[in-house]
Amino acid sequence: MTNIILLGPPGAGKGTQAKRLEESRGMVQLSTGDMLKEAIAKGTALGKQVEGIMARGELVTDEIVIGLIEAKMQDGAKGGFIFDGFPRTLKQADALGELLTRTGSTLDRVVEMQVDDAALVDRITGRYTCGNCGAVYHDKTHPTKVAGTCDVCGSTNLKRRADDNAETLKTRLMEYYKKTSPLIGYYYAKGLLASVDGLADVDSVSSEISSVLD
């Protein structure tokens, strides 16, 4: 069983690689955003608390996120857990470390997906998805075979995320570098950090991550 953190700026491909690890190694992705939505949908006590906080436009506390992670970890995972979107700060990294120690677990590897900012902006601003089946496309690298029509399901409901624009992405990148990039040094000092080329093709990135984990 291997527990890892995937680190990288928005659009680095963490979600794609997490799904591949789930399929190939039986790991479970713990995505902060997904866990918050799930707790709200289930209407648990914690979910109702989260819903109230978000309705007021406030940020969900680290304690609540750690509580959600701990609850999910109790369900178990044959291949281990992938932490995606948490920790984002040094304080959260300490809190995660305390949780793992308390539950008799370990953090085995931190995989940093390195990207070039200019290339990342190009990658994200050209991205669009099928609103029907979720297939992902890109203006330059992976356009649909027939303009305006999904290759997979034939739907014409192709969408771009409202925040997939250059200005918004630059703001998100600045936030990442201010708050999350210190984690790179933090985990390097602990001997847990490994870096991979996040801008390589998807298969190459998967192969690099596999080499790190093996």
Catalytic residues: 14, 88, 127, 161, 172
Q: Residues near 206 by Cβ (< 8 Å), separated by ≥ 6?
A: 17, 20, 24
Q: N- to C-terminal Cα distance for the chain? A: 12
Q: How far is it, in rounded angstroms, from Cα 139 to Cα 137?
A: 7
CA distance 185 to 155: 45
The Cα 145–Cα 22 span in angstroms is 29
Residue that has been written with the tokens 């979107």 in this structure? 85
Q: φ and ψ at 99, to 5 degrees?
A: -65, -45
Nearest to 103 by CA among 81, 86, 88: 81
Omega before 143 within 30 of 0, i.e. cis = no
Write the single-letter amino acid at 111. Answer: V
Nearest to 3 by CA among 87, 67, 59, 63: 87
Instruction: Supply angle C-alpha 105, 107, 110, rounded to 5.
Output: 165
